[in-house]
């Protein structure tokens, strides 16, 4: 049987073809819910997701009728996605993700049923969210399936651990007894994107991948702690004004500033709330995730910190989806 699975992101969406339980195709496209928010409608997103679906089918010599079902996780269920579906409550494991999936008939671009996987929030259903409690509430849409995939792999530590998932937003996910149990979300990658694309920093920063080195990442974090966010960023600009450092070095300092603001937060959270954490697992596919490892090792020197590179064609999200397929197939027998 053939299945298509798409993980819809804020910035990028990634699609996979699974044939007889085996991954057989991968396509990614820079399209996500940020496009819906910027354009005021979800046409760009839906057209992009449809393109991923078409490419996976065409490249593999298939027809639409050959696809048993199409599954979509991530930001597709956000207000800027395909259709809004509320987050699930924790704890979350593969079975819960499967049980709480929602079938939705998408008329305009797919003209077929989609199985939408819901995101997760860290408060019970029925919680009235207001100005007083919003600061304690976090949510994810997409990282939960990465965690299901991670839990199915041999990378998982025994005791409680925190998964660090840096991307458009950095999600700290607390995992205990085989389930996602708490979340702390921060607005990182999108902030960095805005700063490096739409400000003076544009011509002063490297825009491709840059390897992170301790010296510059630490410097950024040091500026942040000493002067606060705005002055720290101004120092990066100043380095250009006064003609010192390369673009790549300034980029690393900016990364140290943004990453430092959330690694310090994580350290605080571990000391106050997630006190039994035994290990931190950072995952992602880009070199910038190394900034997290550098700063966490400094900030929490006695905590084991593991970095797991999630190469796109072989992602934890896909492994998570394969876990859900096993549940689906067992349910069918």
Ligand X SMILES: Nc1ncnc2c1ncn2[C@@H]1O[C@H](COP(=O)(O)OP(=O)(O)OP(=O)(O)O)[C@@H](O)[C@H]1O
Ligand Y SMILES: O=C(O)C(=O)C[C@@H](O)[C@H](O)CO
Interaction between residue 167 and ligand Y (CB under 6 A): yes
Q: Which one of residues 2, 7, 10, 263 is an interface residue with ligand Y (CB under 6 A)?
A: 10
Stretch that binds ligand X, among 49-57, 62-70, 164-172, 324-332 (CB under 6 A): 164-172
Question: Closer to ligand X at the Cβ: 28 or 67?
Answer: 28
Among positions 5, 110, 161, 288, the unique one binding ligand X when judged by CB under 6 A: 288
142 binds ligand X (CB under 6 A): yes
- Map the footprint of ligand X across residues 52-111, applying CB under 6 A: 75
Q: 193 is in the binding site of which of ligand Y, ligand X, none (Cβ under 5 to 8 A by kind)? A: ligand X
- Does 11 participate in binding ligand X (rule CB under 6 A)? yes
CB of 71 to ligand X, least distance (A): 16
Q: Which residue is nearest to ligand X (CB)?
A: 9
Q: 283 and 307 in contact (C-beta within 8 Å)? A: yes
* 218 contacts ligand Y (rule: CB under 6 A): no
Question: Which of 48, 142, 166, 220 touches ligand Y (CB under 6 A)?
Answer: 142
| 255 near ligand Y (CB under 6 A) | no
109 binds, among ligand X, ligand Y, none (CB under 5 to 8 A by kind): none
CB of 137 to ligand Y, least distance (A): 10
Task: Give the shortest CB-309-to-ligand Y separation in angstroms.
Answer: 18
169 binds ligand Y per the rule CB under 6 A: yes
Does residue 189 belong to the site contacting ligand X (CB under 6 A)? yes
Q: Closest separation between CB of residue 167 and ligand Y, Å?
A: 5
Q: What does the buried/exposed string (b/e) look like for 93-129 if buried means 16 or more CB atoms within 10 Å of the residue's CB? A: bbebbbebbeebebeebbeeebbbbbbbbbbeeeeee
Q: Which is nearer to ligand X, 48 or 142 (CB)?
A: 142
Nearer to ligand X, 2 or 148 (CB): 148
32 makes contact with ligand X (CB under 6 A) = yes
Q: What is the 3-state secondary structure (H, E, C) of the chain?
A: CEEEEEEECCCCEEEEEEECCEEEEEEEECCCHHHHHHHCCCHHHHHHHHHHHHHHHHHCCCCHHHEEEEEEEEHHHCCCCCCCCCCECCCECHHHHHHCCEEEEECCCCCEEEEECCCEECCCCCCCCCCCCHHHCCEECCHHHHHHHHHCCCCCCCCCEEEEECCCCEEEEEEECCEEEEEEEECCHHHHHHHHHCCHHHHHCCCCCCCCCHHHHHHHHHHHHHHCHHHHHHHHHHHHHCCCCCHHHHHHHHHHHHHHHHHHHHHHHHHHCCCCCCEEEEEECCHHHHHHHHHHHHHCCCCCEEEEECCHHHCHHHHHHHHHHHHHHHHHC
Map residues 67-86 to x or -, x wherever contact with ligand Y holds by CB under 6 A.
Answer: -----------x--------
Task: Enumerate binding residues for ligand Y (CB under 6 A).
Answer: 10, 78, 119, 139-143, 167-169, 171, 185
């Amino acid at each position: 049987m053939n299945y298509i699975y798409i993980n819809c992101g804020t910035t990028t969406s990634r699609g996979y073809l699974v044939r007889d339980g085996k991954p057989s195709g991968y396509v990614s496209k820079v399209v996500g819910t940020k496009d819906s928010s910027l354009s005021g409608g979800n046409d760009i997103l839906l057209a992009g997701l449809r393109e991923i679906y078409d490419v996976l089918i065409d490249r593999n010599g298939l027809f639409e009728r050959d696809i048993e079902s199409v599954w979509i996780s991530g930001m597709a269920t956000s207000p800027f996605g395909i259709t809004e579906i509320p987050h699930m409550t924790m704890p979350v494991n593969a079975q819960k993700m499967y049980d709480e999936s929602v079938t939705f008939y998408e008329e305009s671009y797919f003209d077929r049923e989609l199985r939408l996987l819901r995101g997760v929030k860290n408060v019970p259903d029925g919680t009235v969210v207001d100005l007083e409690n919003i600061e304690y509430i976090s949510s994810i849409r997409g990282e939960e399936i990465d965690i299901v995939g991670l839990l199915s792999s041999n990378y998982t530590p025994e005791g409680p651990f925190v998964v660090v998932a840096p991307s458009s937003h950095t999600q700290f996910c607390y995992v205990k007894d085989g389930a996602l149990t708490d979340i702390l979300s921060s607005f990182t990658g999108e902030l960095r994107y805005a700063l490096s694309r739409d400000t003076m920093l544009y011509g002063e920063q490297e825009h491709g991948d840059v390897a992170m080195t301790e010296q510059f990442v630490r410097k950024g974090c040091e500026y942040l702690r000493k002067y606060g966010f705005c002055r720290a960023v101004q120092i990066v600009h100043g380095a250009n004004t006064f003609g010192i450092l390369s673009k790549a070095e300034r980029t690393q300092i900016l990364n140290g500033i943004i990453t430092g603001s959330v690694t310090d937060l994580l350290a605080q959270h571990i000391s106050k709330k997630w006190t039994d954490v035994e290990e931190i697992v950072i995952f992602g596919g880009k070199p910038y995730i190394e900034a997290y490892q550098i700063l966490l090792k400094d900030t929490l020197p006695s905590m084991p910190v593991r970095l797991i590179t999630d190469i796109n064609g072989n992602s934890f999200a896909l492994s998570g989806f394969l876990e859900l397929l096993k549940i689906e197939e067992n349910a069918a027998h």
